[in-house]
Amino acid sequence: MQRLADLPDEILLLIFAGLESARDLRALALSCRKLHHLVQIEGWRVFVRHRFPSLSFSSAVTGGYTWQQVAESITWQSRCWDRRSLQFQAIVPNIGLRRDGRLPGGSKGLFQSVVDAHFDPSTQEELLVWGAGEDVIARFRQRRGRGRTSQTSWHRSDGKELGFKVGYDDIKALKVVEHVTGRAIITGRDNGQLSLLSVEPARFGHRLAQFVPSSTPTSGLDNTSQQTVEQETINSLDVLESASGNLIAAATKSVVRVYGLPEEDASEVTPLNTYDLRNSVFTSSSARLCHAKWMEGGKSLALALTGCSDPLRYLELTPSGWTHHTAAKNVDLERQFDIKFDRTICPNSLEPVYRHGGSRGGTSLLLSAWRDVGLIICYRLQDLRTPSPFDAVYQDNVDPWSDAEALMAYGTERFVVGGGQGVTVKVFDFRWTKRYYHTSGLSCLDRTPFPPPHQPFLRPPTTELRGRALCDHARGLSCHWHDLSRRVYYRPNSKYFLANSLRAFSGSSIWSMAKATDMSPNFYIGISGGVIEANLEPCPDTYPPDTATADPNFGFEDWRAAAPPESGYKSRALIPSMMEIGDGYAFKGNDRSIVLPRLLTFQGPRDWSESNGDLRKHHRLDIGYQDVTKEAKSSMPDVSLVSQNPWYRLQS
């Protein structure tokens, strides 16, 4: 009889790709030496690529991480996303530490924070940088292994000392780039100044280059006729990374300029190309360009405009130069969801979506937020060039009127929305075909997933037990619980409310979001007056936790550590309240009144009685959101209030 290990490697790799959980692949690797060797060499890579095809992991193995570590972390993160295990901490200015007693950005300190992040897998160092009014703030944080405190340093470039004025010289756009001299940032200011600054600790804030508008064509890209122009506010920045060099797209209210990233220090850098929309696009004086984003590997630029019809457009690079087009209109979407293509697009909401992890920079799929009929906000995934079967429309099924200012996508897994009115964060599932479910690694149950979700429009799947308390893998049949756990009905989207923990910043809003990589278990939110760090973190059973609660390979166990006093900032733990907001699909009747779902406040660690066994792992939500049954309550010690729990002690 032929053994499994005797099969050719090509067939074994197909078997590895078909396994549903990392637990199964690990068990297979422990069965014999040959399989163990093949799993270590190729198996984990095949598993990750097959189960998470749209996420980018290209730099992981070149940075000292193994594919087994990547698989361990990415499956851990997927479970956290599905169970709503997301925690938040605010980084806000410490007023008393400023010499003039003011906050960056003015007396109220409510500057519009623009944020970006970078992670180096070879050194395991993360760089967080943001524009705080006229200032630039950076935090370097380096992992030093499990159980060890991270090495952290803070740096500031004081705008006032450099002659910048509050408001007029505020930073409006910011991007981290790799430069021959080390890490650098490109900053675009309200006054129109566009600069390349070093963020290496030894010469933080040193100007490497100044990008100047030089002269602009009077029509299209005809460089034969030029006229001097004044600098305008930089509304957006986007950087295209390619083997031939980085390209920068800087958008003002009427012009898109493309610059090359200089390899050495340069006094001035002039545009490679300039496109003036006033000559070919704008038909009214109220029209304005708000955002430009690289698409299709640099072959096109997506544009978001206001004050005109067809607010979503793109520039295409052709052999004769740049040409202007209106984005494709999908008639099927317009009829099915009652959307209009001449409505208002949310200015900063352009986000490319990648179907394959290895295609960074090469996609025509674009996600954007729109104010539609009745001021309802919808999120449209569409192909810029031609209507395609991948086009879709998403909405908050509970509060479709809440604004959207920033979008951030994780391949075709999910996308995150930051509201422009209040500090709220939404997490949407793209509803693309999923290849990995964390529930596959859990034991079978003969019951429906619990607790039952609130779905305003989606009908529940059948609740009749199918006579299978256990999965029948030989016939490919799932048990009742495993089958229903994969249904969209039991995987609603979620919304996090953070304003109650930021009462001093009650007028704050979200202006930007950034993540270092697709593998990062954290991301950053730029708000009015500061920055919020969001971390995937499962709540422990008890406090203090028995094991680390951070990502085992890419996370920072001490991410809650207080900012040092000399940084001029302080850290404040936030207590999120979470609401499930439906399946996320758009419906014509989405503006009708509905019964609001429960608002769950994160309660922190709590004990479970023996009678519950391991059912807490089958609960759809994180332990901090779980309701303890009446039977369990009678045998449990009292659970401390959130405000008294040391897990959530606010840090000064």
pLDDT digits (tens, 9 = 90+) for 319-338: 888 899 999 999 888 888 88
122 close to 136: Cβ distance less than 8 angstroms? no
How would residue 318 be classed by pLDDT, with cut points 50, 70 and 90? confident
pLDDT digits (tens, 9 = 90+) for 63-107: 778 999 999 999 999 999 999 999 999 999 886 434 443 444 443
Give the 3-state secondary structure percentages of the chain, helix then strand then coil, rounded to 5.
Answer: 20, 30, 50
Between 186-195, 208-217, 548-557, the lowest mean confidence (pLDDT) is in 208-217
Q: Which strand (E) or helix (H) includes residue 630?
A: helix 630-633
Kindly tell me the burial class for residue 18, based on how many C-beta atoms sit within 10 Å of its own C-beta (0-12, 13-18, 19 or more).
Answer: exposed
Handedness of CA 620, 626, 631, 635 (dihedral sign): positive
pLDDT digits (tens, 9 = 90+) for 390-429: 899 999 999 998 889 899 999 999 999 998 778 999 999 9
Kindly tell me the burial class for residue 251, based on how many C-beta atoms sit within 10 Å of its own C-beta (0-12, 13-18, 19 or more).
Answer: buried
Q: State the chain's maximal CA–CA distance in angstroms.
A: 83
CA atoms within 13 A on the CB side of 56: 17
**DSSP one-letter code for 159:** T
pLDDT of residue 647 exceeding 60, the answer is no
| Domain 86-433+493-579 of CATH type 2.130.10.10 | yes
Please state, in angstroms and as integers, the Cα–Cα distance from residue 157 to each residue in 130, 132, 168, 301, following that order.
11, 10, 17, 32
Q: Where are the domains of the chain?
A: 4-82, 86-433+493-579, 438-485
Tokens 């000064």 belong to: 652
How many whole angstroms separate alpha carbon 125 and alpha carbon 182?
A: 13
How would residue 637 be classed by pLDDT, with cut points 50, 70 and 90? very low
How many whole angstroms separate alpha carbon 410 and alpha carbon 421?
A: 23
Q: Rounded mean pLDDT of 268-296?
A: 86
Tokens 């003015």 belong to: 106
Which of 161-172 are b and which e, b meaning 16 or more Cβ less than 10 Å from the residue's Cβ? Answer: eeebebeebbbb
Which CATH architecture group holds 4-82?
Answer: Up-down Bundle (1.20)
Please state, in angstroms and as integers, the Cα–Cα distance from residue 345 to each residue in 367, 483, 594, following that order.
11, 39, 26
DSSP string, 277-292: GGGTT--STT-EEEEE
Strand partners, 90: 532, 572
pLDDT score, position 465 = 57
Strand locations in 372-412, DSSP E?
A: 377-383, 392-394, 406-410
Which residues are within 8 A (CB) of 149 and not within 5 positions of it... i.e. 6 or more apart? Answer: 558, 561
**DSSP one-letter code for 298:** G
Strand locations in 430-558, DSSP E?
A: 494-497, 510-514, 522-527, 530-536
Q: What is the pTM of this model?
A: 0.91
pLDDT score, position 216 = 46
pLDDT digits (tens, 9 = 90+) for 140-165: 999 998 888 999 999 999 999 999 99
Q: Rounded mean pLDDT of 351-356?
A: 94
Backbone φ and ψ of 315, nearest 5°: -100, 130
Q: Rounded mean pLDDT of 488-504?
A: 90
Kindly tell me the burial class for residue 264, based on how many C-beta atoms sit within 10 Å of its own C-beta (0-12, 13-18, 19 or more).
Answer: exposed
- Of 83, 172, 112, which is closest to residue 525 (Cα–Cα)? 112
pLDDT digits (tens, 9 = 90+) for 169-195: 999 999 999 998 899 999 999 999 999
**Amino acid making up residue 230:** E
Distance between start and end Cα atoms, the chain = 68
β-pair type (226-228, 247-251)? unpaired
- Of 591, 600, 522, 622, which is closest to residue 139 (Cα–Cα)? 522
Handedness of CA 579, 400, 431, 516 (dihedral sign): negative
pLDDT score, position 389 = 85
Helix, strand or coil for residue 107? coil
Q: Which two tokens stand for residue 84?
A: 């709503």
pLDDT score, position 610 = 44
DSSP string, 55-83: S--TTTGGGT--HHHHHHHHHHHHHHHHT
Q: Which two tokens stand for residue 400?
A: 């479709």
pLDDT score, position 643 = 33
Tokens 């630039």 belong to: 136
- Of 518, 539, 533, 557, which is closest to residue 425 (Cα–Cα)? 533
pLDDT of residue 612 exceeding 80, the answer is no
Q: Rounded mean pLDDT of 263-289?
A: 82
pLDDT of residue 514 exceeding 80, the answer is yes
Q: Which two tokens stand for residue 425?
A: 């964060």
How many whole angstroms separate alpha carbon 25 and alpha carbon 39?
A: 8
pLDDT score, position 328 = 92
CA atoms within 13 A on the CB side of 240: 27
pLDDT score, position 463 = 60
How many whole angstroms separate alpha carbon 10 and alpha carbon 6?
A: 11
How many whole angstroms separate alpha carbon 185 and alpha carbon 193?
A: 13
How many whole angstroms separate alpha carbon 190 and alpha carbon 458?
A: 45
Q: What percent of the chain has pLDDT over 70?
A: 86
**DSSP one-letter code for 317:** E
How would residue 366 be classed by pLDDT, with cut points 50, 70 and 90? very high
pLDDT of residue 464 exceeding 70, the answer is no
**Amino acid making up residue 494:** S
465 close to 445: Cβ distance less than 8 angstroms? no
How many whole angstroms separate alpha carbon 253 and alpha carbon 232?
A: 7
Strand partners, 128: 117, 139
Which residues are within 8 A (CB) of 575 and not within 5 positions of it... i.e. 6 or more apart? Answer: 500, 501, 601, 602, 642, 648
Q: Rounded mean pLDDT of 279-303?
A: 87
How many whole angstroms separate alpha carbon 287 and alpha carbon 279?
A: 12
pLDDT score, position 611 = 46
Kindly tell me the burial class for residue 629, based on how many C-beta atoms sit within 10 Å of its own C-beta (0-12, 13-18, 19 or more).
Answer: middle
